[in-house]
Amino acid sequence: MRLELTDQDALRHLPWGDLKSYLDAQGWRSVERIGDKALVYVPDASETAAAEILVPLRDDLGDYVSRMSEAVAILADREQRSVLEVYQDILTSGLDVVRLRAPEADASGAIGIEDGVVLHQEAENLMLAAACSAVDPRRNYHLRKVTQATDYLKSVRLGPSERGSYVLTLFSPVQPRLEHHQAFDLGEEPFARTVMLRLAEALGAAKRAADRARADNAFAPFDDAVSLGVSANLCDAVARLAETARGIEIGLTWARSRPAGRPRETFRFNPDVAEVLLEAARIFRQLEPVTDTRVTGFVIALDRPIEQFDGNATLRTLIDEKPRRVKVRFEQDLYPLVIRAFQDKSAISLLGDLFPGGQRWELRNPREIRILEDQEEDG
């Protein structure tokens, strides 16, 4: 059963210009003008099913509401979406929209509160991963060190809930494109749009890589997709979304005020792909060091007795909120400080380049080391 949009006031305030922009962006063509009253739109010539939408050119026409209602209903039927989803897309003309749909919600469109918390957290991680890759494509990003990406994330907003399973919407504002009478290249896209384009590339590349990896039992398809935005962080986020929602649909809709030159896109990830993505994320982290990072922890072991200490020691610290053992080789002038921290069970803070390696990591080029006198190791 298809729901109908019957809110007369909502339809009356739906701008006809936004409907026109939506049709233009989705590949529909204006084939006729009816005076100053309406434009006649039809689907792209490649479409086999015939359809026709009348776009009113004035909001004071007597049939304005019925024409807008008819247009939304036709689009919903052709796109196999709810009329409310289509209405919201038309209304958000200045926003790129990410829509995450959990198909396995109950009949009322509700999910468990714990699952909802995970979906919100991983939606944030998904956007942050795309933003980091838009700045610098890498296999893995440590915490939130990419300033431009974290600044962008502050502009992203949660949209209103929608009917149709459980649908989480994210709004990414983007500056409108202003046409100029001279045809010349005005430069790169705004960063917000660059992030969304990278997200689309990364989701498509991650899906293709997962399919090829399962077919070939190989990691190479994921490594080849790093330049397209696939990273440990993105794989983790998509995997946990798919696991939690028992399958996730991620839809991207582009702001009509700044056409992206591509139609609305939807990426579907089934629960069975989650394990492949999680394994890819694990391998990514093993391959990508975290450079110039500060580590705080305790010296829990020296490789040799104190009187024979050769600079090799083991720290216990937290990395991405998980306890890890980190191997460090210190220069000779730091031996007394390291031994003192070990004997006194004092925490130390140091800067270095962190290389993952399963349960035991390695910190190379340790520098800027200091003892934190007031901290003691628990247990």
- The per-residue DSSP string of 321-353 comes to TEEEEEEEE--GGGHHHHHHHHHHTEEEEEEEE
pLDDT tens profile 146-193: 889 999 999 999 987 766 678 899 999 988 776 554 444 455 799 999
d(CA 78, CA 48): 11
Count of domains observed in the chain: 3
Q: What is the C-alpha separation between 84 and 92, in angstroms, rounded?
A: 12
Contact in structure between 4 and 73 (CB atoms under 8 Å): yes
Specify whether 14 is located in the same domain as 107: no
Q: Which domain holds residue 14?
A: 8-90
Q: Flag the least confident range among 161-165, 283-287, 359-363.
A: 161-165
Among candidate residues 50, 70, 90, the one where a domain is terminated: 90
**pLDDT band (50, 70, 90) for residue 89:** confident
Which residues have a Cβ under 8 Å from the Cβ of 313 and sit 6 or more positions away? 299, 301, 302, 303, 327, 328, 329, 330, 338, 342
Do 253 and 287 meet the contact criterion of CB atoms below 8 Å apart?
no
246 and 347 both lie in a single domain: no
For the cut 50, the answer to whether the pLDDT of residue 64 exceeds it is yes
Output the pTM of the full model.
0.66
Beta bridge partner(s), residue 55: 39
The contacts of residue 68 (CB under 8 Å, 6+ apart) are 11, 12, 14, 16, 19, 56
pLDDT at 379: 44
Kindly indicate the confidence band of residue 375, based on its pLDDT and cuts at 50, 70 and 90. Answer: low
> Within a domain: residue 109?
yes
Q: Quick one: pLDDT band at residue 105, thresholds 50, 70, 90?
A: low
So what's the pLDDT on residue 108? 66
pLDDT at position 272 is 92
One domain, residues 86 and 114 = no
Instruction: Note whether 115 and 244 are same-domain residues.
Output: yes
Q: Tell me, yes or no, whether 123 and 209 share the same domain.
A: yes
Q: Say yes or no: 84 and 99 in one domain.
A: no
* pLDDT higher than threshold 50 for residue 223: yes
Q: Kindly state whether residues 297 and 210 are assigned to the same domain.
A: no
Domain boundary among 42, 57, 90: 90
Q: Which of 22-31, 333-342, 363-372 has the lowest mean pLDDT?
A: 22-31
Residue 319 in any domain: the answer is: yes
Q: For residue 151, how far is the Cα from the chain centroid? A: 14
User: What CATH number is attached to the domain comprising 347?
Assistant: 2.40.50.140
pLDDT-based confidence at residue 1 (cuts at 50, 70, 90): very low
- Residues 164, 275: one domain? yes
pLDDT for 5 beyond 70: no
Choose the final residue of a domain: 255, 287, 319: 287
In a domain, 183, yes or no: no
Average pLDDT of the chain? 88
Say yes or no: 63 and 19 in one domain. yes
Q: Answer yes or no: is 268 within a domain.
A: yes
